[in-house]
Structure 1
Amino acid sequence: MSLGIIEKGPKFGVRHVQTILLFFCFVVNFMERLVVSVAVVAMTNAATTNPNFPEYQWNAKQISYILSSVFWGMIIGMIPGSFLCRRCGAKFTMMISILGSSVMGVITPICIPFGGWKIYCAIRIIQGIFQGLFFPCTYDHLAKWSPIEERTMLGALCHTGLIIGTILSIAVSGFIAKSSLGWPGISYVTDGIGLVLCVFWIILADDSPMTSRFISTEEKNYILLSQQKVERSHKRIPIPWKAICTSRPFLSLVITQATEGWGHSTVLAQLPLYMRGVHKMDITSNAIFSSMPYVAMFVMSFVYLVFASFLMKKKNISLTVLKKSINTMSMWIPTVTLIAVGFLDESNKSLAIVLMIVTVGSNAGVTIGQGMNSIELSPNHASTLISIILGIVSCVSLASPLYAGYIVEDQTDRKQWQIVFLTAALMDFFGNLQYLFFGTTKTQPWDDENYLLRKDDDSESPGECRIKSIKNGKL
């Protein structure tokens, strides 16, 4: 066994177990969030699924409220998510997130008959609050468990869970809705998986290598020594709010993730409705063809990952240039295809499916292009950064279905869909354009745990600094 392998510990270590757990957390989170896009189709058109269950006459605007309501809750949950993660650790906070979201999902079919779309929205808001705890924990957990050399790889593998969750939420939901379980079965199956995951999370998850019960000494030292390269602090440090909120690289990251979030949520939430309205697909065909783009996205995520690994090994390109290149492909290819798909009618069904596959498949690179950028900018404040980013992205994702519901009053009207897709395309284009100018992967000065103290010292005279240092026992 070589010295390098001994220093890293087992080839399959506890850090990989944490990666797998996070992968399944992504799967469950996105399944619970996105099954509604297929469920509402089944609930408003029971004749195409299982007619033994109630059908509801909800209009396009009411459906848009249902689709967007989970994001209302996520906005509320982001800030306490960051606070709980810093105070209680990722293990506890993530467990609360998964458990709460799953319980709310299980009770959904029981409550809807009593309150219709309004109670559906209320439940989804509460479910969103629990899901808002999720992402701050994810990035904080990755920052603690990922060696610098493996961060891009482990982060990308975790994020493939959101693609698998998306595929399952769209593909499997259609079959469940048409089975003897009907549309209530979508919630029972999806959220039941979430409850099972909670058990595995409680047993196997650990907050950090320092507190892990299962990690070997070699693997622990490998992770900690690697992270010393960016001087990550393992204690609570003050958050430099002013520096963060005025940081050009951070603001650029916020903009590119928000604009990409608009485009992605437009396709994600509206694709089943678009396929049914314009291309006249029934629920089963709709589910199959609506999930195909995400199968392509899953495959392309590994293509991008292999491509990125190859270039980084060659060391002919900086990490910043690599990420900008991949992000450009991931956002500007959909810019073209989204505009094109809006001009296709029912006679061009096959071409529309192909363009949607290209749109979503090419978008897979954003997990590499921008997904880990918050950790790269500031390992010490990763959970705070991602809370801010996802709070804003959630607002955008909330607005996207509402905007589509306002524009598309007739789901069979192709011209109305053109406006929706054109808006998403322009968001992608300008979001990436500014990222090319201002984005970076360099760790920022305000990540330093002594940054605020140093700023205070800079505002004082040399004599004041010396007196202060003497009082603090530094001289």
Structure 2
Amino acid sequence: MIDKPQATKMKSPCFGQRHVQIFLLFTSIIVNYVAKFNAGVAVVAMTDAATTNPNFPEYKWSDMEKSYILSSFFWGNFITQFPGGYLCRRLGAKRTMFISTLGSSLFALLLPLCVNWGGWGIYCGIRIVQGLFQGFLFPCLHAHLAAWCPVSERNRLGALANTGIECGTLLSMFISGLIAASSIGWPGLFYVSGALGLVWCVAWLLLAANKPAESKFITKAELDYIEGSQNITKKVESDEVVQKIPVPWHAILTSLPFWALVVARSAHSWGFSTLQAELPSYMKGVLNMDMKSNAFYSALPYLAMWCMSYVYLIVSDVLLNRKMASLTVIRKTFNTCAFWIPATGLICIGLLGEEQKNFAIVLMTISVGSNAGATIGSALNTIDLSPNHAGILMGIVNSAANVIPILTPLLVGVLVEDEHNRVQWQLVFIIAAVVFASGNLFYLIFGKMDLQPWDDKDYLSKKWEQNSELPHKVLSGHVFAVTAICTPAATS
């Protein structure tokens, strides 16, 4: 154990294996998001080949069938979020994340071969399986962050890893449009995403380690720095200890700060999935933009989002290091910007038509760009509440949040009967705005950024001891009272 004075003087290595692990996490999100979100462009290309490459098959799928395709990924993704936290505790993040990305990538390669004979149904089936595999990703990612990040760098490194969300979404929107219009056509979308995933799997096997002590490449100085930082706070136990820590289910499920996080992430999922999954269809139907322009303008908001993620990161680092604001203030302020600005933007977008397409693009860019603050605002809150149970918490949070993208495309399929009807899109955007705004309000009131008592590895045993002592104390009190009544009083 390193004492506090010694640890606080320990110099932080400028670059080391913790940064390699963060880069691997960053790229894991990218390759999985490219496979996850290329469906928005793929569905348009596969049903309107004239706008991309007419040399490849075109399918006559209804709007409802396209909605099933867009939502099917999340049917599988939601199922494995919760088991993903447990699997990560048993197998470690290295093996679990490898299985997750390998499975998703292999099925991406299969899709062009199967869709010709299976149609939209087989497309849905493969995306469900991809979702099942990718459901393991984020619970492991948060557990890996808790194991590798020094406490003082946790906000910075965690945010850096999660910027893969914005980068992956950007690449998916932009590259997918270019690939679909190229000589390899829409099948290339799946071949490229599958190949990227396989390359990442090789790099992960060579460079990743479940914890600093297992890394072949880490220096002693960096190992002492990471372990010393974590020992001071006693927030993160070793993998062996974490596997033996019982999960305090009752304490977690009755924790209001935890439910505030669940509500916030679910609200974010609703608003973000509305923008991300339906953006190509909205731009094509209402703004009347062809596929090549659609690919560029669809990617533009996510370029802003990726850039803004670093702006939020730098600002939070400056505010924390100079002690100008607490972590609680930073998280809630950033989350408010990330939720309420897009909520306003969505309502305004619903009021615009084809003649105002430039203004609509500006509003989309501002709305999606400002949403980047949700990573620092709420996504990393699992590690604040409980580093030892970060994977389990993320599994529960993502299980709830991933139900939402199942519903939003289906809701759009019901509400938007004519994709050219601006009024029907208005209702979709208003609903998303209300969810955005109310979810953040709940988080502002009940969200906490403090380590919770149930993170303690001995929490359940201490609770049991307290409960077992109570009947003993009550019984002792009754015995004392009975003895006092029955014993004659002393005479003077």
Given the two structures, how large is their TM-score scaled by the length of structure 2? 0.92
Q: Which runs of 5+ in 2 are unaligned?
A: 1-5, 474-492
CA distance in structure 2 between the aligned counterparts of 1:442 and 1:264, rounded to whole angstroms? 27
Find the aligned partners of 1:437 and 1:175 in 2 and give their Cα distance.
Answer: 44
94, 118, 122: which is aligned to 2:121? Answer: 118
1:369 to 2:373 alignment: no
Alignment counterpart, residue 105 of structure 1, candidates 108, 118, 131: 108
1:238 aligns to 2:242 (yes or no): no
Distance 1:305 1:336 in 2: 23
| Partner AA of 1:436 in structure 2 | L
Query: Distance in 1 between the 2:172 and 2:423 partners?
Result: 28
CA positional deviation for 1:233: 1.9
Q: Which residue of structure 1 aligns with residue 333 of structure 2? A: 325
Q: Which amino acid aligns with 2:99?
A: I
SS of the residue 1:281 aligns to = coil
Q: Deviations over 1:276-311 (max 9, x none)?
A: 000111111000000000000111111111111121
How far the C-alpha of 1:415 sits from its partner, in A, is 0.6
Q: Deviations over 1:1-40 (max 9, x none)?
A: xx99994464210000000000000101111100000000
Give the aligned residue type for 1:425.
A
Q: Which amino acid is the alignment partner of residue 13 of structure 1?
A: G
The answer (yes or no) to whether the contact 1:104–1:127 under 8 Å persists in 2 is yes
Q: Deviations over 1:392-418 (max 9, x none)?
A: 000012111111111111111101110
Contact 1:5–1:11 (Cα < 8 Å) also in 2:
no
Deviation at 1:217, TM superposition (A): 1.3
Corresponding residue number in structure 1 for 2:96: 93
Structure 1, unmatched stretches of 5+, are 466-475
The answer to whether structure 1 residue 202 and structure 2 residue 205 are counterparts is yes
- Deviation of residue 313 (structure 1)? 2.1
Q: How far, CA to CA, are the matches of 1:18 and 1:5 in structure 2?
A: 23
Tell me which of 202, 213, 236 is aligned to 2:216.
213
How far apart in 1 are the matches of 2:81 and 2:281? 29
Report Cα offsets for 1:220-276 as digits up to 9, x if no partner. Answer: 111111112143222120000011011000000000010011000100000000000
Q: Is structure 2 residue 92 aligned with structure 1 residue 84?
A: no
Deviates more, 1:233-242 or 1:96-105: 233-242
1:263 and 2:271 aligned: yes
Counterpart of 2:235, as a letter, is: E
Of 185, 188, 205, the residue aligned with 1:185 is 188
Structure 1 Cα separation of the partners of residues 129 and 209 of structure 2: 27
Query: Conserved in 1, the CA contact under 8 Å of 2:7 and 2:225?
Result: no
Task: Name the residue aligned to 2:289.
Answer: 281
Stretch deviating more after TM superposition (310-319 or 43-52): 310-319
The CA deviation string for residues 119-163 of structure 1, in whole angstroms up to 9 with x for no partner, is 100000001000001111100000000001111111111111111
Asked if 1:452 corresponds to 2:456, the answer is no
Per-residue deviation, residues 74-127 of structure 1 (Å, max 9, x unmatched): 112213311210001000000000100000001001000111000100000001
Would the aligned equivalents of 2:41 and 2:176 in 1 still touch at CA under 8 Å? yes
- Given that 1:148 and 1:226 are in contact with CA atoms closer than 8 Å, whether structure 2 keeps it comes out as yes
| Larger deviation, residues 232-241 vs 4-13 | 4-13
Summarize the Cα distance change of 1:266–1:356 in structure 2 as closer, same or farther, 3 Å threshold. same
Match of 1:290 in 2: 298
Kept after mapping to 2: 8 A contact 1:7/1:219 = no
1:173 counterpart residue number:
176
SS of the residue 1:182 aligns to:
coil
Corresponding residue number in structure 1 for 2:451: 443
Structure 2 partner of 1:310: 318
Q: Which of 225, 229, 249 is 2:228 aligned to?
A: 225
Give SS of 2:392's match. helix
Task: Name the residue aligned to 1:19.
Answer: 22
TM-aligned CA distance change 1:210 to 1:172, over 3 Å: same
CA distance in 2 between counterparts of 1:5 and 1:306 reads 23
Give the structure 2 partner of residue 64 of structure 1: 67
Q: Tell me the distance in 2 between the aligned counterparts of 1:71 and 1:8.
A: 44
Q: What amino acid sits opposite 1:146 in the alignment?
A: C
Cross-structure match for 2:49: 46
Contact 1:374 1:382 in 2 (8 A): yes
Within the candidate set 361, 380, 394, 1:386 is matched to 394
CA distance in 2, matches of 1:415, 1:446: 49
Corresponding residue SS for 1:50: coil
Aligned pair partner of 1:351 in 355, 359, 382: 359
Counterparts of 1:284 and 1:215 in 2: how far apart (Å)?
46
Question: Rg bigger for which structure?
Answer: 2
Residues 275, 286 of structure 1: 8 Å contact kept? yes
Q: Is the 8 A contact 1:93 1:137 kept in 2?
A: yes
What amino acid is the match of 1:405?
G
Of residues 32, 42, 55, the one that matches 2:58 is 55
TM-score, normalised to structure 1, is 0.95
Distance 2:157 2:68 in 1: 35
Residue 461 of structure 1: how far off its partner (Å): 2.3
CA contact 2:302–2:368 (8 Å) conserved in 1: yes
2:438, 2:235 → 1: CA distance? 34
Q: Which deviates more, 406-415 or 93-102? A: 406-415
